[in-house]
Every structure is written in structure tokens, then in C-alpha cells.
């Protein structure tokens, strides 16, 4: 079954090239040339993946990403001409799944898209039950979590991080382990990405955040 990609990119020639590569690999591609149009088409269509340029007219990629994450955990690959680490960290904080810097190979972009979709599909197939621990319930099929019945507004990565910590409760997980298992082995960020997501996750968990303990100079652990 063909996957549908929403491609939000203002550079016409680049958009055409990327679209051609995806269509040659049996993807359905929906195009948008600016942030406002992109968010509109997101609301009008069911898509499996979003490829989102950072520097867009009318509404930039940051704002589009934030608006989408308020409604959906659809996978997002952010594209940018800038490679600063802080930009990448902000992108992951907002809930992007991959970060690609221009110039890039369209073949690599398609490969990354397939990898992201495969991880998402594997999670949906494997996670069919819910688990409750310490008043925190995670539902694997709907990819939602709640505390004492009140749903948490988690990003895609925050949910995966909470799930991984709970599934490995009592085990000290290093930052590298968390990076490799949540962000993937081809992600070149560092432990600050994990720290930032842990901080946001703790804030959303409120009093339940006490179950995520810091192991100095090593990583984190979920404790009952």
C-alpha cells in the first residue's frame, strides 16, 4: 500500500526533484509551496509522513511543526540550509523525527523516509496493549499516555522516551542507549537532546516525574 507524503518546500526545482524521487518509489506526494498552504493541506489530507522545510514564506517550519504537533504525531522530517546544532535540538524538541541539511541526496532522503515509516509501522504492529505503572498508563496502539486518567500532551519522541524508560524500569539507561533506540543509530546529536526531552517529559508528568531519576554522569532510570 502506497504511503502519502506531504512535501512542504518553497524551492520549486528542489520540490520537483524530491517529488519525482518519491513517486518513482511508489509514494503519493502532496505538494505545498509555503507554510500556510502546507498546514492547510495537512488538515485536508491524511498523510503518513511530512517533509518540512525550515525556511518557508508566510509561516516558517518551526510554526508549522508546532501547529501539527498540537494535533498529530505524524512523522516529520525537517529540511534546512542551516546545520547549527541548536537548530537541530530545537527541531527535535518540537517533535521532528529526522533532520536533513541542504544540500542532500534525494536518494538518502527517500531512504530516511522509509526508515521513519518502518519504525512507526513496527511500533503500531508491536504495541497493541496498554500498561499502567505508578499511576502512568501508556496505550501502545493509540500512542497516548495519561496520569491517573488525565491524558498527557506528549510529542512523538516524548512518548517513545517514556515508553522505553517504562519498558526498561529499574535499568540505568545511558544517554547513548536512549539516543540510539529513540533517535536511531544514524542520528549525530549528543546527550543534550536526551536531557532536553527528559526535562520536558518530567514537566508534563508533574508529580509522577519523580519516577524518572537521574544517574549522575551516566543517564536515566525509571523507578517504581
Confidence at residue 36, expressed as pLDDT on a 0 to 100 scale? 94
Taking the domains of the chain in order of start, what are their residue ranges? 4-124, 127-222
Strands 219-222 and 173-174: antiparallel
The span from the CA of 13 to the CA of 15, in Å, is 5
Of 60, 46, 36, nearest to 4 (Cα)?
46
Residue 212: name the closest of 203, 202, 163 by CA. Answer: 202
| Beta bridge pairs of residue 145 | 138
C-alpha cell of residue 50: 511530512
d(CA 70, CA 155): 8
pLDDT of residue 190: 65
Q: Which residues pair with 100 in a beta bridge?
A: 79
* DSSP letter string, 81-145: S---HHHHHHHHHTT-SEEEESS--HHHHHHHHHHHHHHHHHHHHH--SEEEETTEEEETTTTEE
The contacts of residue 125 (CB under 8 Å, 6+ apart) are: none
pLDDT at position 30: 93
Beta-bridge partners for 222: 212
Indicate the CATH number for domain 4-124: 3.40.50.2300
What is the C-alpha radius of gyration for the chain, rounded to an integer number of angstroms? Answer: 18
pLDDT of residue 89: 63
Could you give the angle at the alpha carbon of 168 between the alpha carbons of 167 and 171, nearest 5°?
165
> Considering only the top CATH level, what class is 127-222?
mainly alpha
- pLDDT 10s per residue in the chain (224 long)? 578 899 999 999 999 999 999 999 989 999 999 999 999 999 888 888 999 998 899 998 888 988 888 878 888 988 887 655 555 566 566 667 777 888 888 998 898 888 888 877 665 555 456 788 888 988 877 788 888 888 989 888 898 899 889 888 888 888 888 888 887 755 555 668 888 999 999 999 999 889 999 998 889 999 88
pLDDT of residue 86: 59
Distance between terminal CA atoms of the chain?
A: 42
What CA–CA distance (Å, rounded) separates 78 from 181? 20
pLDDT on residue 9? 92
188's CB contacts (< 8 A; 6+ apart) are: none
Report field, pTM of the whole predicted structure over 0.85 = no
Q: How many residues does the chain have?
A: 224
Q: Which residue has the cell 536515566?
A: 220
Sort 25 into a burial class: Cβ within 10 Å, 0-12 / 13-18 / 19+: middle
Amino acid at each position: 500500500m502506497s504511503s502519502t507524503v506531504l512535501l512542504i518546500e518553497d524551492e520549486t526545482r528542489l520540490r520537483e526533484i524530491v517529488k519525482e524521487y518519491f513517486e518513482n518509489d511508489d509514494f503519493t506526494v502532496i505538494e505545498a509551496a509555503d507554510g500556510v498552504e502546507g498546514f492547510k493541506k495537512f488538515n485536508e489530507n491524511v498523510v503518513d509522513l511530512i517533509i518540512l522545510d525550515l525556511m518557508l514564506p508566510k509561516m516558517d517550519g518551526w510554526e508549522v511543526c508546532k501547529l501539527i504537533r498540537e494535533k498529530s504525531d505524524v512523522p516529520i522530517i525537517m529540511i534546512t540550509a542551516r546545520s547549527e546544532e541548536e537548530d537541530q535540538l530545537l527541531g527535535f524538541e518540537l517533535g521532528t523525527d529526522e533532520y536533513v541539511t541542504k544540500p542532500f541526496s534525494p536518494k538518502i532522503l527517500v531512504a530516511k523516509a522509509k526508515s521513519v515509516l518502518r519504525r512507526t509501522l513496527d511500533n503500531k504492529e508491536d504495541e497493541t496493549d496498554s500498561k499502567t505503572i505508578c499511576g502512568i498508563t501508556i496505550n501502545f496502539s493509540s500512542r497516548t499516555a495519561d496520569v491517573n486518567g488525565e491524558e498527557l500532551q506528549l510529542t512523538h519522541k516524548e512518548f517513545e522516551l517514556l515508553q522505553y524508560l517504562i519498558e526498561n524500569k529499574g535499568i540505568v539507561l545511558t544517554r547513548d542507549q536512549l539516543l540510539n533506540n529513540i533517535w536511531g543509530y544514524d542520528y549525530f546529536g549528543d546527550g543534550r537532546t536526551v536531557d532536553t526531552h527528559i526535562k520536558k517529559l518530567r514537566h508534563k508528568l508533574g508529580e509522577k516525574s519523580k519516577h524518572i531519576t537521574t544517574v549522575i554522569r551516566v543517564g536515566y532510570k525509571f523507578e517504581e
